[in-house]
Structure 1
Amino acid sequence: MKRIAFAFAIIGTIFAVVGQYAIINDWNLFWFFHTVGFIGYILIISAAAYFSLLFIHHMSREEKIRIRNKTF
């Protein structure tokens, strides 16, 4: 799943850059590339959400282990 999220982040970045480049340079089908750029933003946000949830999960797991091993 990490590979998929990383691939989404890379592909989303490429899509977003192409979309912005098309709008700035006034390409003929800029509306299509604008849509591609929007899809790129969605992919980037999805990858960021996955990695942030993965980080929170690891932090909570370490905290549970720390609490379990704590001696009173």
Structure 2
Amino acid sequence: MKRIAFAFAVTGTIFAVLAQYAVLNDWTMFWFFHTMGFIGYILIISAAAYFSLLFIHQMSRDEKMRIRNSRGVDA
């Protein structure tokens, strides 16, 4: 799943950069690249959300282990 999220982030970045380039250079199919840029932003946000949730999950798992270990020492 990490590879898919990373691929989404890279693909989304490429789409967003390409859309911005199309806007700045007045390409004829501007509407198509504008739509691709919007899709790119959605992919970037999705990847960022996945990695944020993964980070939060890892932190909570570490905290659970710390609490579990500290209870064993006190008892």
TM-score tier, shorter chain, comes to: over 0.9
The CA RMSD over aligned residues, in Å, is 0.5
Tell me, in whole angstroms, the C-alpha distance in 1 between the residues paired with 2:25 and 2:39.
Answer: 19
The percentage of aligned residue pairs carrying the same residue is: 79
Aligned length: 72
- The alignment's TM-score, normalised by the length of structure 2, stands at 0.94
In the alignment, which residue of structure 1 is the partner of 2:66? 66
- Counterparts of residues 1-72 of structure 1 (less than 5 Å): 1-70=1-70, 71-72=73-74
Structure 1 segments of 4 or more deviating over 6 A?
none
Tell me, in whole angstroms, the C-alpha distance in 2 between the residues paired with 1:27 and 1:57.
Answer: 44
When Rg is computed on C-alpha atoms for both structures, the one with the higher figure is 2
Tell me, in whole angstroms, the C-alpha distance in 1 between the residues paired with 2:41 and 2:58.
Answer: 26
**What residue ranges of structure 2 are gaps of 5+ in the alignment?**
none
Tell me, in whole angstroms, the C-alpha distance in 2 between the residues paired with 1:56 and 1:7.
Answer: 21
Tell me, in whole angstroms, the C-alpha distance in 2 between the residues paired with 1:40 and 1:51.
Answer: 17
- The alignment's TM-score, normalised by the length of structure 1, stands at 0.98
In structure 1, give the amino acid aligned to 2:9: A
